[in-house]
């Protein structure tokens, strides 16, 4: 059994989730601008910023659950119209008489991908909350050991921060890459497989070799950790582009 080409449950769910992630990142950036107080203290140690960020993430988790639950229920409602014994025969008839009006994948495969992506996107948001809390504890201990009172201490602090910050994103990054690669396997899409490998290579290079860039402004010392940039870019803009690619290149996805 196949869906009609007008239904895009998978790409819409991924796109909406990515847009929520992008919106949450914008809110987090604003909270760092308006709630930041101590110029020498890392934002992660600011309780107001931390609570604001966690609250936004919990809301995002809830909304992602609603989005995927709603679309999975719609999918299964359509699939239940036809009995399991007749789905294969119906699929053959659809391919024979309306090959241009049906989805690229079977409805059961799209349903499986919806479950996979729901699990991945909820997992990374939950892990983001947990890792943020644990990493806040680590940075707090580090700040007590190496207070940034002098330039030399600040340099030491940022070196350790740079080399450890990437660990926060490894698991979540891997989950996203696995999701893209599994989708590519379902679709037999070599381009998506290649993109997954390239992005992974760039992340590994950033984790092992790239140095953190620091800007000292009048308002705040801003540090850019490349693993963080790559992960959040993939989580938001990357998934938006991925969902657009699915919708444009594959019918009914």
CA-to-CA dists, residue 99 to 30, 87, 91, 96, 203, angstroms:
49, 16, 10, 6, 40
Q: Give residue 209's pLDDT.
A: 76
Q: Give residue 214's pLDDT.
A: 59
| Rama region for 252: left / alpha / beta (φ>0; ψ in -120 to 50; rest) | left
Query: Which residue numbers in the chain have pLDDT < 50?
Result: none
The maximal CA–CA distance of the chain, rounded, in angstroms, is: 75
Distance, CA of 148 to CA of 143 (rounded, Å):
7
Instruction: Identify which of 176, 184, 195, 177 has the alpha carbon closest to the alpha carbon of residue 104.
Output: 184
pTM, rounded to two decimals: 0.86
CB 176 within 8 A of CB 239: yes
Distance, CA of 184 to CA of 27 (rounded, Å):
32
Contacts 24+ apart (CB under 8 A), 19-23: 19/236, 19/240, 20/60, 20/63, 20/64, 21/60, 21/235, 21/236, 21/239, 22/236, 22/237, 22/240
Q: Is 82 helix (H, G, I), strand (E, B) or coil?
A: coil
Sign of the dihedral through C-alpha 100, 245, 129, 113: positive
Q: Give residue 147's pLDDT.
A: 75
Q: Give residue 94's pLDDT.
A: 65
Q: Give residue 29's pLDDT.
A: 81
H, E, C per residue of 174-209:
HHHHHHHHHHHHHHCCHHHHHHHHHHHHHHHHHHHC
CA-to-CA dists, residue 226 to 161, 206, 210, angstroms:
12, 6, 7
Strands (E), the chain: 2-4, 102-106, 213-216, 221-224
In this structure, how many other beta carbons lie within 10 angstroms of the beta carbon of residue 100? Answer: 6
CB 53 within 8 A of CB 132: yes
Distance, CA of 139 to CA of 134 (rounded, Å):
9
Q: Give residue 168's pLDDT.
A: 83
**Residue 223 forms beta bridges with which residues?**
214
């Amino acid at each position: 059994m196949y869906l009609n080409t007008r239904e895009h449950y998978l790409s819409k769910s991924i796109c909406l989730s990515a847009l929520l992630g992008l919106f949450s990142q914008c809110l987090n950036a604003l909270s760092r601008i308006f709630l930041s107080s101590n110029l020498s203290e890392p934002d992660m140690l600011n309780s107001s910023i931390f609570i604001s960020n966690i609250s936004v993430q919990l809301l995002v988790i809830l909304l992602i659950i609603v989005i995927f639950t709603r679309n999975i229920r719609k999918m299964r409602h359509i699939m239940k119209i036809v009995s399991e014994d007749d789905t294969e025969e119906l699929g053959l008839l659809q391919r024979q008489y309306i090959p241009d009006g049906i989805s690229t994948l079977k409805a059961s495969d799209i349903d499986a991908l919806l479950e996979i992506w729901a699990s991945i996107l909820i997992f990374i948001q939950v892990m983001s909350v947990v890792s943020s809390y644990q990493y806040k504890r680590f940075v707090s201990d580090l700040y007590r050991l190496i207070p940034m009172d002098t330039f030399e201490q600040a340099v030491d602090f940022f070196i350790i921060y740079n080399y450890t910050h990437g660990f926060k994103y490894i698991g979540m990054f891997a989950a996203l890459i696995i999701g893209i690669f599994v989708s590519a396997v379902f679709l037999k899409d070599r381009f998506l497989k290649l993109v997954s490998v390239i992005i992974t290579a760039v992340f590994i290079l950033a984790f092992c070799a790239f140095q953190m860039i620091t800007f000292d402004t009048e308002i705040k010392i801003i540090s850019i950790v490349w693993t963080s940039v790559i992960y959040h870019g993939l989580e938001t803009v990357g998934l938006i582009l991925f969902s657009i690619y699915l919708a444009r290149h594959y019918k009914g996805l």
